[in-house]
Amino acid sequence: MASKVRFNNLAEAERLAKRKLPRAVWLAVKAGNEQGWTLRENIQAFNELGFSPTIFDRPTSFDTKTTILGIDIDFPVVVSPVGAQAIHPDGEVGVARAAARAGTATGLSSWAADSVQDVVQANPNTIFQLYWVGTRDQIEKRVEAARAAGAKALIVTLDWSHTPRRDWGVPPSPPSRLDLATMVKLAPEALSRPVWFGNYLRRGRIPELKVPNLFGAGGQVPYFGAAWADFEATPPPTWDDVKWLRELWGGPFMVKGVNTIKDAKLCVDLGADAISLSNHGGNNIDGSPSPLRYLPSILDALNGQIDVMVDGGIRRGSDVVKALALGAKAVFAGRALLYGLAVGGEEGAYKALTILRDGIRETMYGIGRANIHDLDRADLMVLNSDFFVPPAA
């Protein structure tokens, strides 16, 4: 198993994942909309912030523990609820095990290829993420299934623009059913990477892309494509819908996809415990700035009323430290884990998490901080005058 994990940083993992995965699968992982401006911007924003290293009084131990949505974690990186992790037979269960081993929580998407029951069993600190698909009755049954499985918190994700166009190519639509004609159509992609496909066959599986957490009214498990058609046909939720969902769940609750002060304040009003600033990893409107850029202004506006997380562009531990120094409680990491998963399954995902964890500690050593809760904006240098960091309140 360890021999499959041959990367020392996440840039290497990304290159290896691209070589390992069929082209259509890689395009789905890389994603982004239109020209990919936001996809690149999510990384560029981190590159416009630097540090002031110190040489005296450097720490010899580090406290990276924190709490998010009532869950204690060993370091401030939570697995982002990325859908359809059937890019490796280990899937979401493997990533959940990796997160548990690393001492952190895992977010599980409604679009996951593994069920919430199986993922909670792999990592009791599982946060279930809900998309607004179908009727309130269907949504209520899915929420209750997550509760019964033991999910610790609920996320509702609202940042999706249904913009499928990409300048560098769009993968084929996931199947609505897996009949003979569909298998014949998909066969060239699978056979283009025989090692990847053989890994599935050795486990007695195929990447069929069912989504068990989006079960229908009769309990049937749809294929991804059929569930996606339901998603596109479902009217987007109103503020009242999300308030109803928050009251239905009753436990720790997060709204993911916030981009403005106005929306952040509305989340406070409906009783959310936390929000995540996000442009869906570059998959919302292309041209949306990185959430890192407006993190300070939203934090100042909320004045500590709820916890604020951020996602998009996390590729190294120093990125995490930058987000925390700006005031984020923790970050979500998505593609970083997918790259590791693609390369080495559970072990690859665990390696990705350890790279992030070690990078956090190394950065803290360099800037003379022993505790993540002591990080603040004074630890950062703005390298580009267009990146405005307002003073702390």
Is 82 known to sit in a ligand binding site?
yes
Is 142 known to sit in a ligand binding site?
no
Place of tokens 């884990």: 337
Is 314 known to sit in a ligand binding site?
yes
Is 129 known to sit in a ligand binding site?
yes
CA 328/CA 71 separation, integer angstroms: 16
Is 131 known to sit in a ligand binding site?
yes
Instruction: Please list, in sequence order, all residues whose beta carbon lies within 8 angstroms of the beta carbon of residue 373, skipping any fewer than 6 positions away.
Output: 63, 66
CB 281 within 8 A of CB 257: no
Is 109 known to sit in a ligand binding site?
yes
Catalytically active residues, by annotation:
280
Is 89 known to sit in a ligand binding site?
no
Which residues share a beta bridge with 108?
A: 128
Is 363 known to sit in a ligand binding site?
no
Place of tokens 């056979």: 191
Say if residue 200 is exposed, middle or buried (CB neighbours under 10 Å; 0-12, 13-18, 19+). middle
- From residue 392, alpha-carbon distances to 299, 373, 389 in Å are 9, 15, 9
Phi-psi region of 274 (alpha: psi -120 to 50; beta: other; left: phi over 0): beta
Place of tokens 């699968």: 25
Is 40 known to sit in a ligand binding site?
no
8-state DSSP, 210 = B
What tokens were used for 46? Answer: 């981190």
Is 311 known to sit in a ligand binding site?
yes
Is 83 known to sit in a ligand binding site?
yes
CA 391/CA 335 separation, integer angstroms: 31
CA 94/CA 262 separation, integer angstroms: 38
Q: Which helix (H) or strand (E) holds 323?
A: helix 317-326
Is 166 known to sit in a ligand binding site?
yes
Is 52 known to sit in a ligand binding site?
no
Nearest CA among 359, 271, 278, 362 for reference residue 316:
359
CA 226/CA 242 separation, integer angstroms: 24
Q: Which helix (H) or strand (E) holds 79?
A: strand 77-79
CB 92 within 8 A of CB 112: yes
Place of tokens 């709204």: 255
- Dihedrals phi, psi of 253, to nearest 5 degrees: -140, 135
- Dihedrals phi, psi of 39, to nearest 5 degrees: -55, -45
- List, as residue ranges, the binding site for glyoxylate: 131, 166, 280
Annotated binding site: 81-83, 109, 129, 131, 157, 166, 256, 278, 280, 311-315, 334-335
Binding-site residues for FMN sit at 81-83, 109, 129, 157, 256, 278, 311-315, 334-335
